[in-house]
Amino acid sequence: MGGVEYGGEEYITGLHLSANGEQVALLGQKYPRYTYSSATAPTPVIGTNGVDVTADIGFSDYSVIYTPVTPEQAVIDLVSTSPPMAKSRSVRIDGNLVESRMIGNILYLVTTWYPQLTTITTAMDTATTAERKAAIAGLTNKDLLPTITITSANAKDAAVTQPLMADTDCYLQSQNASYGVQMTTITALNLASPTLERASRCFLGGTEALYMSAKNVYLATSRYTTQGSDGIVAYSSQTHTDIHKFAIDGMSINYRGSGEVSGHLGWDRSKNAYRMSEYQNDLRVLTYTAQWGWFGELDASKTDTQPSPAILTVLREDASGTQLTTVSTLPNAKRPAPIGLSGEQVYAVRFLGERGYVVTFRRTDPLYILDLADPSDPKVSGELKTNGYSDYLLPVSPGLLLGVGKDANDTGRVQGVKLSLFDVADAANPKEVATRTIGKTGSSSGLDYGSHGINIFTTGGVSRVALPVTVNETLYEAPNSFFGGAMSWYLPSYQGLARFDIDIANKTLTERPTLVGQTFTPGQYGHDGWLGFERSVQLDAHVYYLTGLGQVMGSAW
């Protein structure tokens, strides 16, 4: 037994176990630390409406300059699994850790990096074109490239800092070029190598989503055309998503091409990977095209519109190995029916073989089944409308899907956590064969915080589902000081591990008693155990529940 402690500026967000079982890779982020100094306030600038647009608007102090004194870094710590557990190496990579995957003993990391360019002292806002070019020409690889620092557990060995890659390892794809200075890097680390063998490739531009198959990595970034209407920020149908493909084979990482699709992958990074799927060398992508912004919906008369809230695009690597070309889209001229109704958003997406499943929602939950058997002619084969929506769709058997999300009433008002069992054996006639709703409005599940918040174990024809939940059932009423009268909502009553049995043959969903980790008193607004930390594991006939308080509860299933 043993442990590794963290704190201060470093936060651990995930882990991987190597295939040989000898090492655990702990992954996280080190956030920058800043110092601040006083500075002369800017000269007022009067806008067209006569307002001083440099005035303090309450969100920041214009007389303070913040300077990073420690860089932002991705944290990778390798820990031996042999007792006592201890770090064998520490790896720090400049920038932000976007995603990671493990294949065998090879750990693949995707990081992004903004060069600080602290060596440029020229005032770019007042410099001439020649002065700007001279300042940029003076930059070196040291100024531009991120570094990697490897520290051995042996105190006698000094930390070694090197460039993460050479400048010749970076690509610029002119079709998807960026005006920014951000770069994205794919790094492979061989955890079975005594010297921690590594390799990296990068491209200029950022990324927000990663999808990986057994042989390829796809990195996606959305380009937004932001428009405003009556104080509302919205994304028009001109939004596009750039996708870059890299082939992987052990330590080999090779660029294979780039392409673009209409729309974007959504704002929840934990769901983005589910909106891409490689099948028989084609990449299927489901993007969201509607115009929802931060505060509402853009007036349709003030921007162009898309006929469908969602678009399916099939991409294929061309013969040159430099581009991803479009094979087909849906809707199209032959099949113009939209995926989703006007004003709906895309919630859950799941690709399984020659099918795709899409959930959209505004008032009801349409589940669409896509027939992808012919990549040149995709089609909607069936749909089902129910109340509520699914955030995630999980395969139970070839003909059964489990949806987990929220219930909703007929007006679209969200209620408690909802589990739906869908019979999709007949793609033209899907059915919701069983449902369960947990708690009232405000209740949440572990899947609200990421895709690892559920545990499913199938044995003897039964899929056992373990799902951490916070259940809101305590009605709270208070006077409404703005509009008069009273207002009410539901407060948390308890937090625990909800359990369900899915009988695959009979297509039933049966609820078992919840393992309660903590209860809350009436009127208690907060609690210590964060639901997003909760996990469970099933071993034979038992389940073990790690609560948000750091306690482990065990029970016979």
Q: For 37-95, what is each residue's pLDDT tens digit?
A: 555 444 444 433 343 334 443 444 444 555 555 678 999 999 888 887 788 889 999 99
Is 439 inside any structural domain?
A: no
Say what the pLDDT of residue 278 is: 98
**Can you give the pTM of this predicted structure?**
0.85
Nearest to 258 by CA among 334, 174, 319: 174
Say what the pLDDT of residue 69 is: 58
- Please enumerate in sequence order all residues whose Cβ is within 8 A of that of 459, keeping only pairs 6 or more positions apart, or say none: none
Is 309 inside any structural domain?
A: no
Say what the pLDDT of residue 517 is: 94
Secondary structure string (H, E, C) spanning 430-496: CEEEEEEEECCCCCEEHHHHCCCCCEEEEECCEEEEEEEEEEEEEEEEEECCCCCCEEEEEEEEEEE
Pair 417, 442: CB distance under 8 Å: no
Q: Please, which residues bridge with residue 221 across strands? A: 242
Is 165 inside any structural domain?
A: yes
Is 47 inside any structural domain?
A: no
Is 243 inside any structural domain?
A: no
pLDDT digits (tens, 9 = 90+) for 270-290: 899 999 999 999 999 999 886
Say what the pLDDT of residue 68 is: 59
Is 343 inside any structural domain?
A: no
Say what the pLDDT of residue 153 is: 77
Is 20 inside any structural domain?
A: yes
Pair 262, 237: CB distance under 8 Å: yes
Say what the pLDDT of residue 327 is: 98
Say what the pLDDT of residue 41 is: 46
Domain total of the chain: 1
Ranges of the chain with pLDDT below 70: 1-8, 34-70, 155-156, 173-179, 224-238, 290-307, 363-365, 481, 483-484, 523-528
Is 105 inside any structural domain?
A: yes
H/E element holding 23?
Answer: strand 23-30
Strands 160-163 and 96-103: unpaired
Structural domain containing residue 96:
1-41+61-207
